[in-house]
Structure 1
Amino acid sequence: MKSLLWSAILVAASIVSSCQAPIQVAPIEEAGLIPLPKSINSTGKGFLLTADASIQYKGAGNKLETIANYLSDRIAPATGFEMPVSQTFGNIILEQTNGEASEAYQLTIDENEVKITSTSEAGIFYGVQTFLQLFPTEIESSYVESVDWVVPTGSIQDQPEFEYRGSMLDVARHFISIEDVKHYIDQMAKFKFNYLHLHLTDDQGWRIEIKSWPKLTEIGGSTEVGGGKGGFYTQEEYKEIVAYAADQFITVVPEVDMPGHTNAALASYGELNPGVNLPDGDVSTMVEGKIDFDILDKNPVPAELYSGIEVGFSTLATNKERTYQFVEDVIREISEITPGPYFHIGGDESHVTEKPDYIYFVERVQELVQKYGKINVGWDEIATSKLLPGTISQFWAEEENAKLTKEQGNKILMSPAKRTYLDMQYDSTTRIGLHWAAYIELEDSYKWDPSTYVEGINKFDILGVEAPLWTETVTNRADIEYMTFPRLAAIAEVAWSTKDLRSWEDFQRRIAIQGKRWDINKIGFYRSPQVNW
């Protein structure tokens, strides 16, 4: 009966609408869409969302109803419209069609109806994000606004340039709460990112519960940069983050950095430790300037907890079977609660690990990751070892390592520090951040092409793009927002939109519109002087 009543209302609304003059609105091209769609065709009219609107979902996907409810929930606060969701009727239609699953989608809007179609649920979700960006910026408000909720008519055909579009959040240097990680996921989803890389361990903290090695969090999770109390996620809390991300079509990639960046683990379990080699030069168990492994095998010494920001001084004992039992246990427990395909093994800045030991370690750990059904990812240094087929090398610094990756037939994840590192200062006056790689203004984040950045590396060699946020100087949500935005939006367009469509001048206009949305959401972004906000 309810279905028949709603059908009658919609028919009546359609009749009334047909008697009214066409609604005029600025074309789709003038909206602040980020990332820029592949193809736009405007028809110069408008679709007016009213209180009698409803959402229909069609198709076999299990998450279609969830997406429909997400759209309804996003629209309700500002409009006051409680839009019903059903499989039987609606003038906003989300339809999963038959065919090979693809992130591509089509958004079609006329004066009476909105339709988003894709062969995948993810594609539907991305179409929803585009649709929401076509509304007046007041749609972001948490209270009812007196606005005509008109979106421009026309059609959009869209698909991503790269299959992997990610951001990394370092929760090890400073512990980031579950609520703030979820907030970060919410912002990523709006720009069609699909991977969240969590840097879970480092010298300053171990942030994930490992039940077979409880001291990792008891001791290793007890501090952070600056000497704060640190923190960690229980496995149940980690699963909560993974599930929350999955609801927005974002896959979590866990990272356990090794054999370097491991001081928190070495402080927790002395038997993993070949020696204590802190940045101040206080080196334990040294013989003629080298670590004496024989002495330490007999009398392992835990490292001291560390809360500075220097790198490259720690290493696991690569010659002990106990180390590989530890590594396997960690991989096994995290893999069991991570449904995504990737496991990140770190591998960067292991300066005190002898090169043959480093290569042996990386090659052996790759086998362990594969044993538990995951695909290896590591920072570009791992390409100096023999990579297993499928292993991904994440380029951040050494172009030669990217070339070594390609020579071995493996894919590259592009994260050049000079373009994508969100912890780099905008300029010399930026209140937090570092600048060892570069000062990175908004234009620097936007004006580069992953397919030509490294000579000899082309689009075929690249899995995707990732923007890391390291947290040596980042302590809370306000810091995250300030360093991330607007640069993350620029990286989103680099990862999604083809180079021939991208224009810095047009992006300057569109990011200014996005800035109004951030203002409404009270996101404290950096107001780059390169943009007329």
Structure 2
Amino acid sequence: MGALVRRHHGTTPRTPRLLGSLLLVAAAGAFTLGAAPAARAAAPAPLDQVVPAPASVQPGGTPYTLTRATGVHVDHNAEVRRIGAYLTAILRPSTGYPVPLTDSGTGGIRLHLAKGDFGAEGYRLQSAADGVTLTASTPAGLFHGVQTLRQLLPASVERKTVQTGPWRIAGGTVEDRPRYAYRGAMLDVSRHFFTVAQVERYIDQLALYKINELHLHLSDDQGWRIAVDSWPRLATHGGSTEVGGGKGGYYTKAQYQQIVRYAASRYLEVVPEIDMPGHTNAALSSYARLNCDGVAPPLYTGTQVGFSSLCVPKKVTYDFADDVIRELAALTPGRYLHIGGDEAHSTSHADYVAFMDRVQPIVARYGKTVIGWHQLTGAHPAEGALAQYWGLDGTSATEKAQVAEAARNGTGLILSPADRVYLDMKYTKSTKPGTTWAGTVEVQRSYDWNPGAYLAGAPASAVKGVEAPLWSETLKTSADIEYMAFPRLPGAAELGWSPAATHDWTTYRRRLAAQAPRWDALGIAYYKSPQVPWPNG
């Protein structure tokens, strides 16, 4: 899972896609042969230029131009008004326009809830000369539509100082909804600790690409990162270090709740993970009685895995698990609680099965659905549980078959193949930071696979989504996070959101390249992969 001796492949057939032809149609309408450079600069981005690729695009009609008279008009609904305020906070600094937020009005930008075939997160964007209307059946759908609207405006809209327009949105209609309900990103705050502000910055970046699940890896051998009232030394002692021996850190309950609220404001659900029964040295060091021999090991600051285990036969182990899960569940309004379960090399198979059989019902008792790494399928996954698959191309056929059998028997799958979407893998042998235990993963390899057909023997219906984990053994700063996540994260987001028929590397790489000026405007550090035709070389 998150260290140096762990955790794919299969080239997906490329299907012809409408987006490439639409791009040409839109471009033909936008760029007249022989047009002056100034006119070309003013042309709006085609409606299909965004990432993730929309489900349906119908370009046509006159673009809408934001002016000093533009307002954002919202339904008389507190949540819709909050989304409208989020949008005006983006538009005002860069345009210099007042962009009033009103409950009524004509023209401008309208955010509207209505019944329709949008699903839980879909939306419709309609743009014409007299305004732009975003319609959805839920606030989440409106929020995702706002992300599309952002990407259709010039990248300079993201800057915090007044920029030169024009601010134009191409005419036409986008109809959009996600392929998968679960579209996740994981941040390991255990190997290196990241502050609330750093996590919130990453949340904003995830939201731009319609990610809706933030998996926080809160405990591991190197650090325990969440306060637990009934076991206070977990945080104060277990959280006092990190890889390399830094000072570590932990979230108070109030700080964790701040992250949860901030994520919710961007329509991300927080999935907390307490890794068990392995990856537990920080806990074992904090409380001697959790060890079978009653002796607390020293804190650990290295990067090896598989050496630690909770003492499965001891009653105190389940008192500990119950207390931690109860307190964490009370802080977490989301549906899921991740119990880890990978790389438990120091736990016998019989003990592993016994442990999972006792801990999964605890999660259910506190109202949460279990997620575990795919080794959970070697035990008895609870009804409704999700297994997160992180295997490689080289993962044994027996292990893959075990996961596929569980999927056929009703266990849902989240796909996180390490040699595809582990964002901490180096792009090439020479790039830094990152690790290479799963190989090197360039941008095309990260993007060019099909979740629905990835794991042989697993029905496509068992795949509930995709998650891009980011392990932090070598990451210390937000710049490190961004360099490893960008440009691969948007591809993982597209695999989770966009219809399979839109999947095409040739056209995706051009849409991805067009994101670079936006990342520059947002101050996002990123890797300039030679596989992507970046603007200006």
Q: Assess if the C-alpha contact under 8 Å between 2:223 and 2:239 holds in 1.
A: yes
- Displacement, 1:45? 2.4
- Displacement, 1:273? 1.1
Q: Assess if the C-alpha contact under 8 Å between 1:335 and 1:372 holds in 2.
A: yes
- Displacement, 1:404? 3.2
Q: Is 2:48 the partner of 1:69?
A: no
Q: Assess if the C-alpha contact under 8 Å between 1:387 and 1:408 holds in 2.
A: no
CA distance in 2, matches of 1:378, 1:433: 24
Residue aligning to 2:183: 165
Q: Secondary structure at the match of 2:337?
A: strand
Residue aligning to 1:186: 204
CA distance in 1, matches of 2:135, 2:76: 10
Q: Assess if the C-alpha contact under 8 Å between 2:152 and 2:170 holds in 1.
A: yes
Q: Assess if the C-alpha contact under 8 Å between 1:71 and 1:128 holds in 2.
A: yes
Q: Secondary structure at the match of 1:353?
A: coil
Residue aligning to 1:500: 501
Residue aligning to 2:7: none
The residue type equivalent to 1:164 in the other structure is Y
Q: How does 1:173-322 map to 2 (within 5 A)?
A: 173-274=191-292, 296=293, 300-322=294-316
The residue type equivalent to 2:419 in the other structure is K
Residue by residue, what CA displacement relative to the aligned partner does 1:364-418 show, whole Å, maximum 9, x if unpaired?
1000000000000000001111111101100111423421321331110111111
CA distance in 2, matches of 1:99, 1:326: 47
Residue aligning to 1:522: 523
Residue aligning to 1:56: 73
Q: Is 2:440 the partner of 1:439?
A: yes
CA distance in 1, matches of 2:52, 2:437: 29
- Please, what TM-score do these two structures have when normalized by structure 2? 0.88
The residue type equivalent to 1:309 in the other structure is T
Match of 1:332 among 326, 332, 336: 326
Q: Is 2:138 the partner of 1:144?
A: no
Q: Is 2:345 the partner of 1:368?
A: no
CA distance in 1, matches of 2:51, 2:498: 9
Residue aligning to 1:279: none
Residue aligning to 2:462: 461
CA distance in 2, matches of 1:347, 1:159: 33
Q: Assess if the C-alpha contact under 8 Å between 1:396 and 1:415 holds in 2.
A: yes
Residue aligning to 1:281: none
Q: Assess if the C-alpha contact under 8 Å between 2:221 and 2:308 holds in 1.
A: yes
Match of 1:104 among 117, 122, 125: 122
The residue type equivalent to 2:144 in the other structure is Y
Q: Assess if the C-alpha contact under 8 Å between 2:188 and 2:470 holds in 1.
A: yes
- Displacement, 1:317? 0.3
Q: Is 2:79 the partner of 1:85?
A: no
Q: Assess if the C-alpha contact under 8 Å between 1:28 and 1:154 holds in 2.
A: no
Residue aligning to 2:13: none
The residue type equivalent to 2:449 in the other structure is W
Q: Assess if the C-alpha contact under 8 Å between 2:47 and 2:59 holds in 1.
A: no
CA distance in 1, matches of 2:156, 2:408: 50
Unaligned runs of 5+ in 1: 1-22, 275-295
- Displacement, 1:140? 1.4
Q: Assess if the C-alpha contact under 8 Å between 1:118 and 1:124 holds in 2.
A: yes
Aligned CA RMSD, in angstroms, stands at 1.4
Residue aligning to 2:18: none
- Displacement, 1:29? 3.6
Residue aligning to 2:482: 481
- Displacement, 1:139? 0.9
Residue aligning to 1:14: none
- Displacement, 1:362? 0.7
CA distance in 2, matches of 1:26, 1:502: 26
- Displacement, 1:85? 1.1
Residue aligning to 1:382: 376
Residue aligning to 1:35: 52
- Please, what TM-score do these two structures have when normalized by structure 1? 0.89
CA distance in 1, matches of 2:100, 2:249: 41
CA distance in 1, matches of 2:46, 2:127: 14
Q: Secondary structure at the match of 1:339?
A: coil
- Displacement, 1:56? 1.1
The residue type equivalent to 2:510 in the other structure is R
Q: Assess if the C-alpha contact under 8 Å between 1:28 and 1:42 holds in 2.
A: no
CA distance in 1, matches of 2:372, 2:192: 21
Q: 1:503 to 1:44 in 2, by over 3 A?
A: farther
CA distance in 2, matches of 1:524, 1:262: 33
CA distance in 2, matches of 1:346, 1:59: 43
Unaligned runs of 5+ in 2: 1-38, 392-398
The residue type equivalent to 2:125 in the other structure is L
Higher Cα radius of gyration? 1
CA distance in 2, matches of 1:105, 1:31: 15
Q: Secondary structure at the match of 1:456?
A: coil
Q: Is 2:149 the partner of 1:131?
A: yes
- Displacement, 1:470? 0.2
Identity %: 44
Residue aligning to 1:286: none
- Displacement, 1:26? 4.6
Residue by residue, what CA displacement relative to the aligned partner does 1:141-192 show, whole Å, maximum 9, x if unpaired?
1111111111111000000000000000000000011111000000000000
Q: Assess if the C-alpha contact under 8 Å between 2:121 and 2:140 holds in 1.
A: yes
Q: Assess if the C-alpha contact under 8 Å between 2:342 and 2:374 holds in 1.
A: yes
CA distance in 2, matches of 1:201, 1:345: 10
Q: Assess if the C-alpha contact under 8 Å between 2:47 and 2:170 holds in 1.
A: no
Stretch deviating more after TM superposition (218-227 or 399-408): 399-408
Q: Which of structures 1 and 2 has the larger relative contact order (alpha carbons within 8 angstroms, sep 6+)?
A: 2
Residue aligning to 2:342: 348
CA distance in 1, matches of 2:484, 2:317: 36
Corresponding residue pairs, total: 486
Residue by residue, what CA displacement relative to the aligned partner does 1:219-248 show, whole Å, maximum 9, x if unpaired?
100000000000000000000000000001
The residue type equivalent to 2:74 in the other structure is Y
